């Protein structure tokens, strides 16, 4: 959810390279992304790739449309990368995630990354800039991000600081943004 389109390679390309029969459903609410998706989402012949124009704030609609492509009796990977920090507390982000996970089969995984200010200095905090531009940004602490995995088995190494390829490990990086959040994978029991 939150497709990341246009990027290269796209998630469906990576997944279908590993397993050509893989089915992928992208979800985004941006009409410009829809135009890119129509041009870019070419599936492998054995697999299937679909796009759902919807908002994460409406998980019921997302699930209903995803059922057209995905087999919910089999494990599904739910990817919520750099998305939930745009969902304010008043919109119940934890409830949204629970609704999205509820119908998933055992063995399914939640893959999540989330912005946090825990490891950033006051000078690195750009939250006010986003808010002044009309973007309701809600960084969360490590403990708040960990709550998204309630009821799931956190896969080792657990909830860890985000770091970027080709940079030193986060504790050694000293780079703005290298420690800007947390990521983890949780498995449905």
> pLDDT for 65-78, tens place per residue?
999 999 999 999 99
Distances in Å between the Cα of 37 and the Cα atoms of 7, 55, 61 are 11, 16, 19
Distances in Å between the Cα of 39 and the Cα atoms of 7, 34, 127, 142 are 12, 9, 33, 38
State residue 65's pLDDT score. 92
Tokens of 21: 């029969």
pTM of the full predicted structure? 0.85
- Domain-wise residue ranges, the chain: 1-59, 71-187
Look at residues 108, 79, 110, 109 and name the one whose alpha carbon lies nearest to residue 10. 79
- What number does CATH give the domain 71-187? 3.40.50.150
pLDDT-based confidence at residue 145 (cuts at 50, 70, 90): very high
> pLDDT for 14-73, tens place per residue?
788 888 889 888 888 877 766 666 666 666 677 788 888 889 999 999 999 999 999 999
């Amino acid at each position: 959810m939150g497709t990341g389109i246009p990027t290269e390679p796209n998630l469906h390309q990576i997944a279908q390279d590993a397993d050509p029969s893989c089915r992928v459903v992208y979800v985004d609410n941006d009409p410009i992304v829809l135009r890119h998706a129509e041009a870019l989402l070419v599936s492998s012949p054995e697999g299937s790739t679909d796009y759902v124009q919807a908002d994460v704030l409406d998980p019921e609609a997302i699930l209903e449309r995803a059922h057209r492509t995905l087999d919910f009796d089999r494990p599904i990977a739910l990817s919520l990368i750099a998305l939930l920090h745009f969902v304010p507390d008043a919109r119940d982000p934890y409830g949204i995630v629970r609704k999205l996970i509820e119908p998933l089969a055992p063995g399914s995984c939640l893959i999540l990354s989330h912005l946090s200010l825990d490891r950033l200095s006051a000078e690195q905090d750009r939250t006010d800039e986003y808010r002044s531009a009309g973007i309701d940004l809600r960084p969360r602490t490590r403990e708040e991000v960990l709550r998204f995995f309630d009821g799931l088995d956190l896969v080792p190494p657990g909830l860890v600081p985000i770091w970027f390829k080709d940079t030193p490990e986060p504790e050694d990086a000293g780079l703005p943004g290298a420690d800007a959040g947390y990521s983890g994978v949780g498995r449905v029991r």
